[in-house]
Homo-oligomer: A and B are copies of this chain.
Amino acid sequence: MKTEHRSGCPINLSLEVFGDRWSLIILRDMIFGGKRHFREMLNGSIEGIASNILADRLKRLMELGMLTKADDPSHKQKAIYSLTEMAITLVPIMAHLGAWGRVWLPVSEELSIRAELLEKGGPELWEQFMDELRHEHLGTPVAAPERPSVRATLQAAYEAVVARKASDGIKAPAA
Protein backbone atom coordinates (compact mmCIF):
# COMPACT_ATOMS: atom_id res chain seq x y z
CA MET A 1 0.00 0.00 0.00
CA LYS A 2 1.20 3.45 -0.86
CA THR A 3 2.19 5.56 2.08
CA GLU A 4 2.74 8.79 0.18
CA HIS A 5 0.17 11.31 1.29
CA ARG A 6 -0.29 14.84 0.10
CA SER A 7 -0.94 15.98 3.67
CA GLY A 8 -2.13 14.71 7.05
CA CYS A 9 -5.40 16.62 6.81
CA PRO A 10 -8.40 14.37 7.55
CA ILE A 11 -10.40 15.72 4.62
CA ASN A 12 -7.49 15.31 2.25
CA LEU A 13 -6.81 11.77 3.42
CA SER A 14 -10.50 10.92 3.06
CA LEU A 15 -10.38 12.24 -0.49
CA GLU A 16 -7.36 10.11 -1.22
CA VAL A 17 -9.48 7.11 -0.25
CA PHE A 18 -12.65 7.83 -2.23
CA GLY A 19 -11.88 10.94 -4.21
CA ASP A 20 -12.70 9.25 -7.49
CA ARG A 21 -15.82 8.55 -9.47
CA TRP A 22 -16.27 4.89 -8.64
CA SER A 23 -15.13 3.85 -5.16
CA LEU A 24 -18.14 5.29 -3.33
CA ILE A 25 -20.49 3.95 -6.02
CA ILE A 26 -19.24 0.44 -5.35
CA LEU A 27 -19.59 0.89 -1.60
CA ARG A 28 -23.09 2.33 -2.10
CA ASP A 29 -24.14 -0.76 -4.05
CA MET A 30 -22.76 -3.02 -1.35
CA ILE A 31 -24.31 -1.06 1.51
CA PHE A 32 -27.71 -0.19 0.07
CA GLY A 33 -28.01 -2.81 -2.65
CA GLY A 34 -26.64 -5.71 -0.64
CA LYS A 35 -24.27 -6.63 -3.48
CA ARG A 36 -21.56 -9.09 -2.51
CA HIS A 37 -20.31 -10.66 -5.76
CA PHE A 38 -18.34 -9.33 -8.70
CA ARG A 39 -21.04 -10.06 -11.29
CA GLU A 40 -23.76 -8.63 -9.11
CA MET A 41 -21.90 -5.34 -8.92
CA LEU A 42 -20.96 -5.41 -12.59
CA ASN A 43 -24.42 -6.12 -13.99
CA GLY A 44 -26.42 -4.39 -11.25
CA SER A 45 -24.62 -1.07 -11.53
CA ILE A 46 -26.98 1.54 -12.95
CA GLU A 47 -24.00 3.75 -13.75
CA GLY A 48 -22.47 0.99 -15.88
CA ILE A 49 -19.06 0.33 -14.38
CA ALA A 50 -16.54 -1.46 -16.60
CA SER A 51 -15.18 -4.79 -15.41
CA ASN A 52 -11.56 -3.67 -15.31
CA ILE A 53 -12.42 -0.59 -13.28
CA LEU A 54 -14.48 -2.69 -10.89
CA ALA A 55 -11.64 -5.20 -10.47
CA ASP A 56 -9.17 -2.40 -9.88
CA ARG A 57 -11.33 -0.61 -7.31
CA LEU A 58 -12.19 -3.78 -5.41
CA LYS A 59 -8.49 -4.52 -5.15
CA ARG A 60 -7.74 -0.98 -4.06
CA LEU A 61 -10.53 -0.93 -1.46
CA MET A 62 -9.17 -4.18 -0.05
CA GLU A 63 -5.67 -2.72 0.19
CA LEU A 64 -7.12 0.28 1.99
CA GLY A 65 -8.88 -1.94 4.49
CA MET A 66 -12.42 -1.11 3.42
CA LEU A 67 -13.26 -4.57 2.07
CA THR A 68 -12.33 -8.18 2.62
CA LYS A 69 -12.71 -11.12 0.25
CA ALA A 70 -13.65 -14.68 1.10
CA ASP A 71 -14.51 -17.85 -0.80
CA ASP A 72 -18.14 -18.61 -1.40
CA PRO A 73 -18.83 -22.17 -0.20
CA SER A 74 -21.49 -22.65 -2.87
CA HIS A 75 -19.16 -22.06 -5.79
CA LYS A 76 -15.41 -22.70 -5.82
CA GLN A 77 -14.75 -19.76 -8.08
CA LYS A 78 -17.09 -17.34 -6.40
CA ALA A 79 -15.77 -14.66 -4.09
CA ILE A 80 -17.80 -12.86 -1.44
CA TYR A 81 -16.81 -9.32 -0.67
CA SER A 82 -17.49 -8.00 2.81
CA LEU A 83 -17.50 -4.50 4.23
CA THR A 84 -15.15 -3.79 7.11
CA GLU A 85 -16.08 -1.60 10.07
CA MET A 86 -14.15 1.16 8.31
CA ALA A 87 -16.56 1.00 5.38
CA ILE A 88 -19.68 0.52 7.51
CA THR A 89 -18.99 3.77 9.35
CA LEU A 90 -19.40 5.57 6.02
CA VAL A 91 -23.19 5.27 6.41
CA PRO A 92 -23.61 8.71 8.01
CA ILE A 93 -21.49 10.25 5.27
CA MET A 94 -23.60 8.50 2.63
CA ALA A 95 -26.72 9.81 4.34
CA HIS A 96 -25.43 13.37 4.34
CA LEU A 97 -24.22 13.12 0.75
CA GLY A 98 -27.63 11.85 -0.30
CA ALA A 99 -29.42 14.59 1.59
CA TRP A 100 -27.21 17.26 0.08
CA GLY A 101 -27.61 15.85 -3.43
CA ARG A 102 -31.37 15.69 -3.01
CA VAL A 103 -31.48 19.42 -2.28
CA TRP A 104 -29.04 20.69 -4.89
CA LEU A 105 -28.86 18.23 -7.76
CA PRO A 106 -31.30 16.91 -10.38
CA VAL A 107 -32.03 13.63 -8.63
CA SER A 108 -34.67 11.24 -9.89
CA GLU A 109 -37.62 10.56 -7.61
CA GLU A 110 -37.26 6.80 -7.40
CA LEU A 111 -33.53 6.90 -6.75
CA SER A 112 -33.78 9.53 -4.04
CA ILE A 113 -36.56 8.05 -1.92
CA ARG A 114 -33.97 6.01 -0.04
CA ALA A 115 -31.96 9.13 0.71
CA GLU A 116 -35.11 10.86 1.89
CA LEU A 117 -36.03 8.08 4.31
CA LEU A 118 -32.47 7.82 5.54
CA GLU A 119 -32.40 11.54 6.21
CA LYS A 120 -35.72 11.48 8.05
CA GLY A 121 -34.63 8.48 10.10
CA GLY A 122 -31.65 10.39 11.41
CA PRO A 123 -28.66 9.06 13.35
CA GLU A 124 -30.84 6.52 15.14
CA LEU A 125 -31.79 4.84 11.87
CA TRP A 126 -28.22 5.01 10.65
CA GLU A 127 -27.07 3.19 13.77
CA GLN A 128 -29.66 0.49 13.25
CA PHE A 129 -28.55 0.12 9.65
CA MET A 130 -24.89 -0.09 10.63
CA ASP A 131 -25.75 -2.78 13.17
CA GLU A 132 -27.46 -4.77 10.44
CA LEU A 133 -24.43 -4.37 8.20
CA ARG A 134 -22.14 -5.53 11.01
CA HIS A 135 -24.28 -8.60 11.46
CA GLU A 136 -24.34 -9.26 7.73
CA HIS A 137 -20.69 -8.59 6.92
CA LEU A 138 -18.81 -9.11 10.17
CA GLY A 139 -20.94 -11.83 11.73
CA THR A 140 -21.64 -9.92 14.91
CA PRO A 141 -24.69 -11.02 16.91
CA VAL A 142 -27.92 -9.09 16.44
CA ALA A 143 -28.17 -6.71 19.36
CA ALA A 144 -31.31 -4.87 18.35
CA PRO A 145 -34.82 -6.28 18.73
CA GLU A 146 -36.36 -7.97 15.72
CA ARG A 147 -37.83 -5.53 13.28
CA PRO A 148 -37.93 -5.11 9.53
CA SER A 149 -34.44 -4.48 8.21
CA VAL A 150 -33.54 -0.96 7.16
CA ARG A 151 -32.38 -2.09 3.75
CA ALA A 152 -35.62 -3.97 3.09
CA THR A 153 -37.61 -0.93 4.17
CA LEU A 154 -35.67 1.34 1.85
CA GLN A 155 -35.94 -1.15 -1.00
CA ALA A 156 -39.71 -1.48 -0.52
CA ALA A 157 -40.09 2.29 -0.63
CA TYR A 158 -38.06 2.40 -3.84
CA GLU A 159 -40.23 -0.25 -5.46
CA ALA A 160 -43.40 1.48 -4.34
CA VAL A 161 -42.30 4.66 -6.12
CA VAL A 162 -41.42 2.72 -9.26
CA ALA A 163 -44.82 1.01 -9.20
CA ARG A 164 -46.67 4.27 -8.63
CA LYS A 165 -44.82 5.99 -11.45
CA ALA A 166 -45.63 3.07 -13.75
CA SER A 167 -49.34 3.27 -12.98
CA ASP A 168 -49.27 7.03 -13.34
CA GLY A 169 -47.81 6.39 -16.75
CA ILE A 170 -50.82 4.28 -17.71
CA LYS A 171 -53.29 6.94 -16.64
CA ALA A 172 -51.31 9.84 -18.08
CA PRO A 173 -48.68 8.53 -20.44
CA ALA A 174 -47.59 11.91 -21.77
CA ALA A 175 -47.23 13.55 -18.38
User: Are B21 and A19 in contact (CB-based, < 8 A)?
Assistant: yes
**Closest B residue to A24 using CB positions:** B15
User: Are A93 and B96 in contact (CB-based, < 8 A)?
Assistant: yes
CB-CB under 8 A from A112, the residues of chain B are: 8-10
Q: How far is the CB of A165 from chain B (nearest CB, A)?
A: 12
Copies of this protein, total: 2
CB-CB under 8 A from A16, the residues of chain B are: 21
Residue from B8, B25, B99, B111 within 8 A of A107 (CB atoms): B8
Interface residues of chain A, those whose CB is within 8 Å of chain B, are 5-17, 19-21, 24-25, 28, 46-48, 65, 86, 89-90, 92-94, 96-108, 110-112, 115
- CA gap between A97 and B108 in the complex, in Å: 25
16 sample A-B contacts, Cβ–Cβ < 8 Å, listed by A number: A5-B106, A6-B46, A7-B46, A7-B47, A7-B111, A9-B101, A10-B107, A11-B25, A11-B97, A11-B98, A12-B25, A13-B106, A13-B107, A19-B20, A20-B21, A93-B100
CB-CB under 8 A from A10, the residues of chain B are: 97-102, 105, 107, 111-112, 115
- CA gap between A106 and B111 in the complex, in Å: 35
